[in-house]
Amino acid sequence: MFRKSTVLIFTAGFLYAQNNIYVYEYHAKKREGINLDYERSVGVEYLNFLRQSANMTPFILNTLLNSSSQNHAKYLNANNQVGHYEDKSYQYFTGVEPKDRVNYVGYDAYEGENVTYGVESVKASIDNLFSAIYHRFGFLNYDANEIGIGIDGLNYVYNMGNKEINDICKGSSYSGYGYYYYGICIDYNFKIEKNSYDTAKNSSRAKNPEVILWPYNGMSDFEPPFFEESPDPLPNHSVSGNPISVKFNEYFVKSVQLISFELYKNGVKVDNTLILTKDNDPNSKFSEFEFALFPLDRLDWNTNYSVKTSFNVDGATKNYEWSFKTKSLDIPVYEINSTTAKIDIKPNVEYAIYLKPLNANDISNGYSSQYQSGMEFLKTDFIDMNTLKIAISGSIGQKAIFNFQSGRVLELTLSNTDLATYPTTNQNFTLNLQKGWNLVSIPVNKSYNSSIFSGDTTYTYNGSYTKNPTTLNPKQGIWVLSSSSKSYTFEGQEYSSDSFSTLSSGWSLLGAGKNITIQNEISCQNCSIKSSWTYNATLSSWSKNPSTINRGEGFWIYK
């Protein structure tokens, strides 16, 4: 006997961003036991990990921006609303537009707002926004250096600002002769002398790189899909690949023209793509310094991709090449490439069923199912609109049938064997420290709390030193002052070295996620690596321009 059930999936999402997180119902909702300060720290640390992976400066949490963000999140949750705008007839109204709400709490230098809804973690919220090209550029804004985070229910709000301009607005209005700006501060008539404003505006830009490549070189968990965004950069597609983007810094670059932009999958060129620039952006959101390549077919899970681009920058040709890998799933995966399919699964085992899109609008917003008596669905969660996570209990030979709203049909049979693809097993790596100073790196592709080094003092460097940072990330060089000789075991996968084309000039402290041969594996298009240095903790000595850098070592690069 077969039983029937129907599940309708309502997408969560965000204004001007894609809808790719799923909940079974959407209404005003509270996350129980939320620690707002902790969530904010997790959010800003993750944002800064992403920004610093692209060689950008980190955001600093600002209490006023926290307040304006929290006010809007509270408004959205209490009134069951979404988006950037508020209606003064609703409770908790603090301003119609984001700038109004930022001014309401006393902050002057608003730079942008990102909003998500229906998302159950701050990390998922940020990942969503980075998958939406317009909001990705918002988080990669050269002018923004402060941020506030608001969370209420499943609503997340991010307000960004500029510290230097906000500080000017707290001073005295300009009363001298010459050029000035007004209409920038809360007091509309407050005057800012032109040179002071330009200096403040350029302060943040000057500390950031000439170009941002996204995903960053060596990224190993790039989300494969792009679904919907409002306004929609791909109005004729419900699903495509997560876009690749290049953003130039107008502090260093005055004019830029695209020459070529190509994506490769395992070394083979991907032909079905669309390049978006200011000239053909259907929503006129791109600046002349922003470029994106959309794979019109969704990217695959756990797959290596590389990018080759060429630009005319201020009259000179500059080429950028880098690589990344899409996110891998940590459970067995079935890839389905047909309208109907039959597969075997083991009882009580979680699987990811990837319904590879058959056309530009092939997404699944829900399904109905039939299953035999005695079977139980232990897990039925959507990872995204093409990928279902499922676990079923029951007897060998029993069947379940899924009819997806997209028209696709899947028959599952419980079996002792399966033909799914299983994830790669992580490997252990031992990092040895000597008593005293050690220059090391995280040897696996995951982040750790600095407490991993058992209370020893740690330092990272990004233009200046940070003592005992909360999070230690892959690709960072890390100084560890160890109280004794000791060893640490890390479990995970190695990661590739970076291209150093986008590094700022001067010194950078980096880490090796695998053994690097300098000549072959350190790439610097259109730039010069002047020297590299490693430190031998056993001998307390330096090595200049070593031929190899070993996995787990930190090293200095001077560009």
Written as one string, the DSSP assignment of 193-249 is EHHHHHHHHHHHHHTS-SEEEESPTT-S-B--EE---SS-SSTT-SSEEPPEEEEE-
Task: Write the pLDDT tens digit of every residue in 226-241.
Answer: 998 878 999 999 999 9
Residues 303 and 262 in one domain: yes
Can you give the pLDDT at residue 20?
A: 27
Please report which confidence band the pLDDT of residue 475 belongs to, taking 50, 70 and 90 as the band edges.
confident
C-alpha neighbours within 13 Å on the C-beta side of residue 113: 26
Between 2-6, 108-112, 127-131, 388-392, the lowest mean confidence (pLDDT) is in 2-6
SS3 144: coil
Sheet holding 478-482, edge to edge: 436-440, 478-482, 457-461, 465-467
Can you give the pLDDT at residue 31?
A: 57
Between 148-157, 298-307, 417-426, 496-505, the lowest mean confidence (pLDDT) is in 496-505
Cα angle value 39/136/182 (rounded, 5°):
95
Residues 202 and 217 in one domain: no
Residues 407 and 435 in one domain: no
> Within a domain: residue 509?
yes
SS3 505: coil
Residues 484 and 433 in one domain: yes
- 247 beta partners: 212, 290
> Within a domain: residue 381?
yes
The percentage of the chain sitting over the pLDDT mark of 70, rounded to a whole number, equals 90
Can you give the pLDDT at residue 459?
A: 94
- Whole-Å CA distances, 33 to 43, 75, 149, 152: 17, 20, 17, 12
d(CA 331, CA 14): 28
Can you give the pLDDT at residue 230?
A: 74
**CB distance 139 to 182 below 8 Å:** no
Task: Write the pLDDT tens digit of every residue in 86-108.
Answer: 999 999 999 999 999 999 999 99
Q: Rounded mean pLDDT of the chain?
A: 88
Residue 373: pLDDT over 90: yes
> Within a domain: residue 5?
no
Element (H, E) at 136: helix 133-139
Task: Write the pLDDT tens digit of every residue in 185-197.
Answer: 888 899 999 999 9
Can you give the pLDDT at residue 34?
A: 79
Q: What values do phi and psi take at 445, rounded to 5?
A: -85, 65
C-alpha neighbours within 13 Å on the C-beta side of residue 52: 23
Can you give the pLDDT at residue 526?
A: 56
Can you give the pLDDT at residue 21?
A: 26
> At 164, which CATH number?
3.40.33.10
> Within a domain: residue 388?
yes
Question: Average pLDDT of 56-62?
Answer: 95
SS3 526: coil
Beta-strand ranges (E) seen in 483-549 are: 486-492, 507-511, 516-517, 531-536, 541-544, 548-549
Between 36-40, 275-279, 339-343, the lowest mean confidence (pLDDT) is in 36-40
Boundary of a domain, candidates 388, 414, 440: 414
Residues 244 and 99 in one domain: no
Task: Write the pLDDT tens digit of every residue in 105-146.
Answer: 999 988 899 999 888 789 989 998 999 999 999 999 999 999
> Within a domain: residue 15?
no
Residues 403 and 308 in one domain: no
d(CA 234, CA 398): 42
Beta-strand ranges (E) seen in 373-493 are: 376-384, 387-393, 399-404, 409-414, 427-433, 436-440, 448-449, 457-461, 465-467, 471-472, 478-482, 486-492
What pTM was estimated for this model as a whole?
0.74
Can you give the pLDDT at residue 541?
A: 86
Residue 253: pLDDT over 50: yes
SS3 98: helix
452: DSSP letter = G
CB 43: neighbour CB atoms within 10 A?
22
Please give the full DSSP string across 169-184, using - where no structure is assigned: HTSPPP-SSS-EE-SS
User: Length of the chain, please?
Assistant: 559
Nearest to 243 by CA among 268, 267, 220, 263: 263
Cα angle value 127/130/135 (rounded, 5°):
130
Cis peptide preceding 231, ω within 30 of 0: yes
Can you give the pLDDT at residue 354?
A: 96
Between 15-19, 185-189, 239-243, 290-294, the lowest mean confidence (pLDDT) is in 15-19
> At 382, which CATH number?
2.60.40
The percentage of the chain sitting over the pLDDT mark of 90, rounded to a whole number, equals 64
Residues 179 and 61 in one domain: yes
Boundary of a domain, candidates 162, 183, 208: 208
Range of the domain at 264: 210-327
> Within a domain: residue 480?
yes
Residues 532 and 478 in one domain: yes
> Within a domain: residue 8?
no
Please report which confidence band the pLDDT of residue 500 belongs to, taking 50, 70 and 90 as the band edges.
low
Task: Write the pLDDT tens digit of every residue in 66-78.
Answer: 999 999 999 999 9
C-alpha neighbours within 13 Å on the C-beta side of residue 437: 12
Residues 389 and 441 in one domain: no
Residues 363 and 240 in one domain: no
> Within a domain: residue 497?
yes
Q: Structural domain tally of the chain?
A: 4
Residues 173 and 224 in one domain: no
Can you give the pLDDT at residue 521?
A: 46
d(CA 474, CA 478): 10
Residue 482: pLDDT over 60: yes
Boundary of a domain, candidates 166, 192, 208: 208
End-to-end Cα spacing for the chain:
70
Can you give the pLDDT at residue 425?
A: 65
Task: Write the pLDDT tens digit of every residue in 518-541.
Answer: 544 454 555 667 788 999 887 888
Can you give the pLDDT at residue 502?
A: 56
Residues 180 and 149 in one domain: yes
